[in-house]
Amino acid sequence: MNNPLESLKEQLNSIQAKTSQIRYRVPSLWVPAGNEPVDGKPPVSVQPAKFFLSHIEAIEKNQVAGIDPARSLNSQIPGNKCGEWIASQSIYNIFVRLTSAYDHDGDGQLGGSRADLTLNADGIRESGTFLKCIAMLGYIKSLGCDTIHLLPVTAIGRDGNKGDLGSPYAVRNPYKIEATLADPLVEMSAEDQFRAFVYAAHMIGMRVITEFVFRTASKDSDWIASNPEWFYWIDENIKDRDPGETDPEKIAAGYGNPVFDAATLKLINQKVQSHDFNQLPPPPDYYQHFFKLCPEKNTVALNRRGQYRGVSVCPKTGEKFSVRIPGAFADWPPDDNQPPWGDVTYLRMYRDENPQKPEFNYIAYNTIRMYDTSLAKPELANESLWKTIEELIPTYQREYGIDGVMVDMGHAVPVSLMQKIISTARKHDENFAFLSENFEIKEDSVQAGYNAVVGYAWWVEYRRDGMYDLLNHVGNQGVPLSFFGAVENHNTPRAAGRPGGEKYARYAFLVNTMLPHSVPFVHSGQELGETMPVNTGLDFSNQDLEKLKGKKLALFDLCGYNWDGSHSMFPFIKKVIGLRHTHSDVVGLTGRESFATVLTGQTDVICFLRRGAGKHLAVVFNRDLERKLKGELELEWALPKESGKVRNLLAEAGQKSEYEAVNGRIPYDLGPGECALLIW
């Protein structure tokens, strides 16, 4: 494979004179590889071509010896087999369009061009691009992160888009890269710029994990015209109902998630909790009646609004209907309060046994997530769809040299399909990593072939008893595989936006980073103290949704981060990740004997130990965000017999750098939300 960075350098060299007069500011934190960023400096005005050339040259200067950047690093860097290398990594999560967005001309807004919203008046793309992400690699490396997790970078559909730009999960074609992620400064396709990004990351020893969506597609997916049988279809005249509608008549007349009565909902939950998927209760008849048979391929076409329409028949009456692609909604629980996903639709994973009189011709929890046993039969698998999905990852392995994938809602992909996907990918790269957006940390993910799951730390640790439950489960009981040490992600509230703000965000990140089996995870913007969520998909109350109504969400709209000014979270996160790397000999242990909780005498002061390799690390924090708390850590069984001092590795101005150990106890005096990491 040709060196894509050489092509990029040629392009940048050729446009230096052309771009010399363009207004182009960049955050001072975006330092070349090998440099240390200094927080709090003002933005820098640069000549764009020279700026990007300097970053590429710094990457080349800091290249890891003996690496072929065009290939996955998995076979080139010593590590565990079958993707287990992820357990020792620290992840930085990039949403390209958002993470590297910046107001380059300093006019106070992002983009704004009438021709293309992402461009400014000078034709500069102010939304994020792969080129700008290359310029961020030095910054990301300085944080201590060695793996990049990209939210989907595939081509985005337009039908039903929320916001100005649409969601990266509205995948129009998973085999194509989203064109707006290419930087128009250079005449290179999005595919070639993505290739250059992966190549540059590999040069400095950073792996790249891309996220793939296997269960859904955009409502104007390129696949619809060629394979209408891969999709569900409903009567075009059935309109989408308003989110949160409660009027029974309007629910029965409009399309949305199927609504179950209380008794049926109770039965559904009972059966699912007992893993009984036989004869799961179907949605109401009126809802099933919305759906029609798959239209003949020759009738399927885009209308003037870019929406697919076809001619179909009712499976019961034979009456002809004009049909459309229905939108998606949260697949579980059936009464989830998430807003509908009007820009995507569910793929039809299984065919009906009798296609002309189908039993499962509808979208509901039992056809897209729990899979009724009468439907989920090997012979009913939608084989051509499965084969197309199965070949997706090998294409990216060959074309871009990616190192692993995150599977969107991996636990809801049919198990047999997921097994095919994993085995096919590992034929190309035996050390390829698979991560799942699964919020449970269970053995079934190990059996499915995953190396890590998202886990649930972000969801419980801010709750009153959640932190204790997390420590007991992960530490005392133990878990079977790695999980993300994440305090937030693109679907959740920001950690700094929860009660306590950065005080909470700090101690929660410290806890997650030091737990056994955790993989430190930085959701971009977290280190900048961002409080605005990217999406409202998980853990938002109805009150939260009401407060955010009318505000732009970056998953759908043109948004950026506050890169300028000072960010107190930045040095903290950098320090914590660095300490984990320094003490990986103990933090990386996963046996139950490596973890222990410590009595503190205060319900709101929590402490746990990581021990082994001849050392002890004690994580201690005051989760009371308003009161200072005093007490003693009871450590007679862990401290040396002689009294002495223990260091606080997280000491900042105004905090103790040392604690006195007296008679097996360590007195503490912690301010609201204060945390410490003690070592002896």
pLDDT given for residue 315 in this prediction: 78
Looking at 67-76, 245-254, 630-639, 640-649, which range is the least confident one?
640-649
Nearest in space to 680 (alpha carbons), one of 640, 642, 650 = 640
Share of the chain above pLDDT 70, in %: 100
Tens-digit pLDDT profile for residues 179-217: 999 999 999 999 999 999 999 999 999 999 999 999 999
Read off the pLDDT of each residue in 408-412 and give the average, rounded to a whole number: 86
C-beta separation of 478 from 441 below 8 A: no
pLDDT at 392: 97
User: What pLDDT was estimated at residue 338?
Assistant: 78
List the one residue out of 409, 393, 406, 402 whose CA is nearest residue 175.
393
pLDDT of residue 337 exceeding 80, the answer is no
* pLDDT tens column, 524-557: 999 999 999 999 989 999 899 899 999 999 999 9
Q: What does the buried/exposed string (b/e) look like for 99-126 if buried means 16 or more CB atoms within 10 Å of the residue's CB?
A: bbbbbbbeeeebbbeeeebbbbeeebbb
Interval 454-459 mean pLDDT: 96
Tell me the average pLDDT across 282-293.
96
Q: Which residue has the higher pLDDT, 17 or 231?
A: 231
- The confidence score (pLDDT) of residue 313 equals 84
> Does a cis peptide bond (omega within 30 degrees of 0) precede residue 571?
no
pLDDT given for residue 284 in this prediction: 97
pLDDT value, residue 633: 97
Query: Cα 569 to the chain's mean position, in Å?
Result: 20
One-character DSSP codes across 573-585: HHHHHHHHHHTHH
pLDDT score recorded for residue 93: 98
Percent of the chain with pLDDT over 90: 89
Residue 619 predicted with pLDDT over 80? yes
pLDDT value for 306: 95
> Does the structure show a pLDDT above 90 at 521?
yes
Give 374-403 pLDDT, tens digit per residue: 999 999 999 999 999 999 999 999 999 999
Token digits of residue 497: 């936006």
| Chain mean pLDDT for the chain | 95
Q: What mean pLDDT is predicted for residues 306-314?
A: 93
Ordered structural domains, the chain, with CATH:
1-71+86-213 (no CATH), 222-346+348-378 (no CATH), 457-582 (no CATH), 584-679 (2.60.40.1180)
Sequence-ordered list of residues with C-beta below 8 angstroms from that of 347, at least 6 positions apart, any chain: 214, 215, 216, 217, 230, 231, 382, 385
pLDDT at 628 > cutoff 60: yes
Kindly indicate the confidence band of residue 1, based on its pLDDT and cuts at 50, 70 and 90.
low
Question: Of all helices (H) and strands (E), which one includes residue 96?
Answer: helix 96-99
- Please say if the pLDDT value at position 134 is more than 90: yes
The rounded distance, in Å, linking the Cα atoms of 461 and 474 is 12
pTM passes above 0.85: yes
End-to-end CA distance of the chain: 50
Q: What is the distance between the alpha carbons of residues 601 and 678, in angstroms, rounded to a whole number?
A: 18
What is the Cα gyration radius of the chain?
A: 26
